[in-house]
Chains A and B, each alone.
Chain A
Amino acid sequence: MRLSDRARTLPESGIRKFFELAEARDDVISLGVGEPDFSAPWTARTAAIDSLERGKTSYTANRGMAALRERVADHHERYDQSYEPESEILVTTGASEAVDLAFRALVDPGDTVAVHEPTYISYGPGIELAGGEQLTVPTRAADDFALTREALEAAGAAEADLLVCCYPNNPTGATMTGEQLAEVAAFCRDEDLRVVADEIYAALTYGTDHASIATQPGMRERTVVVNGFSKAYAMTGLRLGYALGPTDAIDAMNRIHQYTMLSAPTTPQYAAIEALDRCDDEVTEMVEEYDRRRRLVVSRFNEMGLDTFEPGGAFYAFPECGGDDEAFAEALLEAEGVAVVPGSVFGTGGEGHLRVSYATSMRELKEATDRVAAFVEGR
């Protein structure tokens, strides 16, 4: 069949190759997984089951169930974010749909969208599908991969129309303080950039609370915040996210959403209501366990001589392996059966690094880090 130019020219994800290499072996310990190893809290799962037993299988409102939007609004007060459930919140099929809708609603053909890298792999293709062009803003290991005004200026982001801001960051685990965000916010105001803030890992921070760029002065009206249930509540497969933003942006996203998706899946919305009502303690327990693993992984990689800065969020560490990260990751998989993702997959600035996910049991993390240490020793 003849395919569209758009589809034909869309590049294959760099992660695909490592997925295939890892899948080809059956003795692999994977530190390459971008989702929690926990299951969704049982009470949230039972709410989903109950809703099915009661026959709740219809569409919901386009914007998502009102009861869910009200709880999302309440929930976000913990991040000093305040949004009206009726007009400023849109429930989506995963945070991925929210990101896609934001691009489609905010990007005109030929617009430039600044994206800091290394970062999650979907923004570039999303921007391209919306007709925009990505402008890469490299972040640096020397800044612990935080975005700086200097980096934005050096990359020419003053000419951009929109900025994608993803903190806590996948793949680096970097977080940004309110002070650091203030600098970026000032740049956005000075240069009139709007922002898509992907804050899917907001609940997974260690030692500090999440800070959102949308809460900086003058930023609420120019920012669409994306979040969801996948990471904090271990609900990746239930595909439920949402966008928070000013009425005009949410209206526009909803206009697209009502044609392309109609409504987010109903069953997970029931699970999500329960998750927000009753699962804070379980999230806290998961965060505490991630935190113990984070410390173990960071100290083990530093001990074996692969410098690793202390990541403040998400469930990734980003050790430096030096040189060719793809070759390192392939050789490590070959020699020791440990899968990690080469940092360069996540764009400029990721080369010479490895993304190590600690969303894996403590026992496997110990075994995997022992194997990596043996590999490093033998090089």
Chain B
Amino acid sequence: MDAEREVLDVLARNAREDIDDIAAQTGLDAAAVADAIDALESNRVVHGYQAVIDWDRVDEGKIRAVVEINVELDRETGYEQVADRIAKFPAVDALHLVSGDYDFAVEVLGENMQDVSEFISEQVAPMPAVTQTVTHYIMETYKDGGIRFEDGDGDDRLSVSP
């Protein structure tokens, strides 16, 4: 495995690992790890570092919705142009072009349901290319970013075993 891939595997599990620990885990020296991170960032493989948050556990937390969007394209307007317009809204957390019955899957983060529905009805739906939106509010999150949202059973192994 090349150095960038090894570093990426560590960061994908825990973006807070410091350079020395990544070096220890991969067997690379610290300078090589720093170079690999620089390269991953400048080549836009790594776009940023975020926490995986269970907003349900935060006072005045946020609500998330997945919005299906259908669009109609014309000679001047392609998916790129539509995506660019939708992505500019800060409320849009994630935006994917998908296969299947609709075109875009949009993840929207808002203060509450009203906030999200106003955003969709007032900002997204009126866009000329948008023909239909279907909003699914997320009621409960069980797993996100590969991490299971649970209290955990703890380690029930014997503390010392042969």
Contact = CB atoms under 8 A, between A and B. Distances in A.
B21 interface: yes
A35 B24 contact: no
Nearest to A289: B13
Contacts of B14: 362
Interface in A279-319: 288-289, 292-293, 295-296, 299-300
B50 interface: no
Interface in B123-154: none
B10 interface: yes
Contact of A295 (B26, B160, B162): B26
B161 A32 contact: yes
A333 to B, nearest CB: 10
A33 B25 CA distance: 21
**Interface size range of chain A in the complex:** 20 to 34
Given A288-B9, A292-B10, A362-B14, A15 B162 contact: yes
A22 B9 contact: no
Contacts of B27: 295
A246 interface: no
Contacts of B9: 288
A18 B24 contact: no
Contacts of B25: 292-293, 295-296, 362
Nearest to B161: A34
Nearest to A361: B155
Interface in B1-34: 9-10, 13-14, 21, 24-27
Nearest to A32: B160
A37 interface: yes
Contacts of B157: 33, 35, 37
A122 interface: yes
B159 interface: yes
Contacts of B158: 19, 33
B159 A33 contact: yes
B160 A19 contact: yes
Given A288-B9, A292-B10, A295-B26, A33 B21 contact: no
A371 to B, nearest CB: 15
A293 B17 CA distance: 13
Given A295-B25, A296-B25, A299-B24, A22 B160 contact: yes
Kindly list the 6 A-B residue pairs having the minimum CB-CB distance in the complex, ordered from nearest.
Answer: A32-B160, A292-B25, A19-B160, A22-B159, A30-B159, A299-B24
Given A13-B162, A23-B159, 16 more contacts: A15-B160, A19-B160, A28-B159, A30-B159, A30-B160, A32-B159, A34-B162, A35-B157, A121-B162, A288-B9, A295-B25, A296-B21, A299-B24, A339-B160, A362-B25, A366-B21
19 contacts: A18-B160, A22-B160, A28-B159, A32-B160, A33-B158, A33-B159, A33-B160, A34-B161, A35-B161, A37-B155, A121-B162, A122-B162, A170-B162, A292-B25, A293-B25, A295-B25, A295-B26, A300-B24, A362-B25
